[in-house]
Amino acid sequence: MKIQSRVKNWLTIMLVSAVLVAGNISVPLHPVKVHAEGVRATSADEYSYMAAPGVKHTSITLDEPESRQAIQVMEVDPKSPHIQIQAVSSRMEVSRGETVGYMIREQETMGRRVVGGVNGDFFSSVGVPSGLQISNGELISSPGSIKALMYILADGSVHLEENVTMTAVVQTGSGSALDIDMVNRTRVPSHNDRAFLFTSRFGSSTRTPVGGVEVVLGVEEARLVAGQPVKAVVQSIEDGANTLIGAGQYVLSATGTKADWVRNALAVGDELEISVSFDKGINEAREVISGNSTLGRILLKDGEIPAQITDPGEAVNRDRHPRTMLGVTADGKLIIAVVDGRMPGYADGMTFEEQARYLQSLGAVNAINIDGGGSSTYYVRQPGDLAASLLNVPSDGSERPVGNALIVVSTAETEQLEGLVLSPNRYVQVAPGSQISFEVKGIDRNYNPVTVQANDLKWVVNDGIGKVDDNGVFTAGTKERTGQVKVHAKGGIQQTVDVAVTNEIARIALSHDAFVAEPGSVQALSLKAYDAIGREIQLSANQASWTADGVIGSIRPDGVFTAGSNDAQGTITAVYGDHSVTAEVHVGPSPVIESFEDLDSITASEVRTVPGSVALSLVTEPGMVKFGQSSGKLTYDLTGTSGTSAAYVNLLNAAGQPGRVIEGKPKRIGLWVYGDGNMHQLRLGVTDGSGANKLWNFTSIGGTNWTGEWRYVSLEVPQDTLFPIAVRNIAMEEKNVNNKQAGVLYYDQLTAEYGEE
């Protein structure tokens, strides 16, 4: 048999099934199942492992007749003694949106070991979940009715329900009663004849507009639990807004006829009873997360697909989008699945019916759709890691702040080393003479990370495929063949990865297909190679032939480019066998558009703010500067304004007018921002090559939701952009009348990114 044929056969075997083995721990990787009712699906790739006891993760790529799907699935056994499933929000409040990753990190700072998490309910622009959230038995937020929800009882069992109703009442000692419409939900000016109950889980104040009456209540029990009445005493009654919520206090806020009831029925010192309850057994729930919007859907009910989501006459049923969904199997396991979408060639997303049929194929009998689109986010702990990582590709290009999240926590203690995890560990292909650096991590029987010392490891290579040094750097031999790389630790613990040395390369790609280099700068370029079905083949830069055309500088045989001293344009070409790839290079000014090292070419302006409140200055305090000697400090005050308010940082050209031209054709534009947590939107004002003004989004609405740290926000330059482009301004905008605040943002290093990531 020819070596080339053996390589092909080995790849076929690896694609159909593989095993991740770590000591005595093994996790089979199975081919994907066929959809229910004969809908055929093929798997381009599937990879499974245990993230914790009772938590199995699977990444799947499906090539179907009409779509391509990238799916992340977490199967959770709620009966596992070391697993907890919980609905969480940032600071366990509903005062702001946050990314799933941020909420997970918050939980980690409290000593919790989060092994997975996804976005939760649909939400409003101020971060409040649209439906019911109960966390650790406490009612966090609820409207009057909930379309679809998941709830977990004290025994750990998981259930799905639809059309749940809240009944909430405040009652005086004389028996007079007022119905409460919502708990910890945002009251807006259009809410008339309504009553809202606020606890500290809403935030530090009610954030209500004028036009109502607000009653401060002293309570015996700060935790609001469904089905458990709370005794309260009236402390104050005021016609006002945005009342502070102190420790041991609730606030009752009412408008219209319900405000009249408050004025007539209540007096300071009155003793009241507040009761909140839900039908369909939800009072007994320990955790609840909802899918409460027009897109909240029951996907499966007792194994059947509802006719509502299969009707082709409903346009919403024909749409494919990124999705997040929850399912429960006949044996009580929870299935958490995220489907990417809106990325042609990578992931198309699913319709409601496709979601339902896919969950059926996984064994679900009941299922609901929760928030999706740009909100769909999936985190899971990878083998040997301490913390969970983002595994899906959010369609916005980065995580979107959301109202709440569903997390999975492991309470299993760390024990002794039980197995090793090699990375990379599957489908390892390498071109002759190229190198791979293997990383080794240790795990215990609970899949917790265990430190492994490099000097305790022994490496072995068989079948003449190459050699490996003591640091795990493998160098492939010159001939095509298959074999294994093995690593051994004390106690007979070992791990093996199959390796194919192959030259069956269909195409090669550069790490940067276009970039700007400052004169005299040095940049290391790398290569990637792919086989005929798109799987990566490791290809070292020193295996290719490199040339630099134009007076742009020089390039070494290992792909390290040194830019010349003068402005120039040219190309760099890498050739490997019959394949070549070229990058466009511009030697010239730095890709940094604005460094905020001086105020010579930047100004501030404002629209619908407190007059004169917007100002830009430079600061040099430690911690408030990300790069260089200073950053830009933008102060603003939107209090009491209407309409869309904005604070601008204007970038001026040589003539002193907004519109600074950017060199070349950037792929992305990014900015470092020190946030104030006020949840406004950041946008970039540009003028394209046709003279048309555009607004591109750095964040979604409510996106500046972090405080006390620097974060990098970036945007993808649309593919149909006409170049050159000029940046007019960095815009901070707010439309929500209930989120008009004063604050401070710090900006540093606005940058154009020219190459591929």
CATH number of 564's domain: 2.60.40.10
Nearest partner of 502 among 532, 458, 472, judged by Cα: 532
Q: What is the pTM of this model?
A: 0.79
Residue 326, pLDDT above cutoff 80: yes
Q: What is the pLDDT of residues 712-747, one digit of tens each?
A: 999 999 989 999 999 999 999 999 888 898 899 999
DSSP symbol at 722? P
Instruction: Tell me if the bond preceding 724 is cis, omega within 30° of 0.
Output: yes
Q: What is the pLDDT of residues 649-683, one digit of tens each?
A: 999 999 999 999 998 888 899 999 999 888 999 99
Q: What is the pLDDT of residues 203-251, one digit of tens each?
A: 999 999 999 999 999 998 899 999 999 999 999 999 989 999 999 999 9
**Mean pLDDT across the stretch 163-186?**
97
Give the pair of three-digit tokens for residue 123: 């939400």
Nearest partner of 49 among 24, 68, 22, 15, judged by Cα: 22
Residues 736, 672 share a domain: yes
Residues 626, 672 share a domain: yes
pLDDT, residue 467, reads 97
Residue 395's pLDDT band (boundaries 50, 70, 90)?
confident
CB 122 within 8 A of CB 370: yes
Strands ordered across the beta sheet of 42-52: 42-52, 55-63, 68-76, 334-339, 323-329, 364-370, 297-300
Residue 36, pLDDT above cutoff 60: no
Give the pair of three-digit tokens for residue 324: 């997040």
DSSP state string for 212-267: SEEEEEEES-SS--TT--EEEEEEEEEE-SS-B--TTEEEEEE-HHHHHHHHHH--
Report the share of the chain in percent with pLDDT over 90.
Answer: 79
Last residue of a domain, one of 281, 307, 325: 281
Residue 693's pLDDT band (boundaries 50, 70, 90)?
very high
Distance in angstroms (rounded) separating the CA atoms of residues 265 and 263: 6
Residue 64's pLDDT band (boundaries 50, 70, 90)?
confident
In a domain, 59, yes or no: no
Helix (H, G, I), strand (E, B) or coil at 449: strand
Residues 347, 212 share a domain: no
In a domain, 25, yes or no: no
Residues 251, 351 share a domain: no
CB burial string 658-676: b at 16+ within 10 A, e below: bbbebbbebbbbbbbbbbb
Residue of 527 and 518 predicted with greater confidence: 527
pLDDT, residue 530, reads 96
Nearest partner of 215 among 232, 199, 234, 230, judged by Cα: 234
Residues 598, 615 share a domain: yes
Residues 664, 606 share a domain: yes
Q: What is the pLDDT of residues 402-458, one digit of tens each?
A: 999 999 999 999 999 999 999 998 779 999 999 999 999 999 999 999 999 999 999
Per-range mean pLDDT, top range of 320-329, 503-512, 713-722: 320-329
CATH number of 262's domain: 2.60.120
Question: What is the domain range of residue 517?
Answer: 507-587
> Torsion angle, CA of 283/287/292/297, rounded to 10 degrees?
-100
Last residue of a domain, one of 501, 525, 540: 501
Residues 322, 205 share a domain: no
Q: What is the pLDDT of residues 250-293, one digit of tens each?
A: 999 999 999 999 999 999 999 999 999 999 999 999 999 999 99
In a domain, 20, yes or no: no
CB burial string 404-431: b at 16+ within 10 A, e below: bbbbbbbebeeeebbbbbbbbbbbbbbb
Does an H or E element contain 46, and which? strand 42-52
In a domain, 24, yes or no: no
For the chain, what is the domain count? 5
Which backbone phi and psi does 592 adopt, to 5 degrees? -70, 115
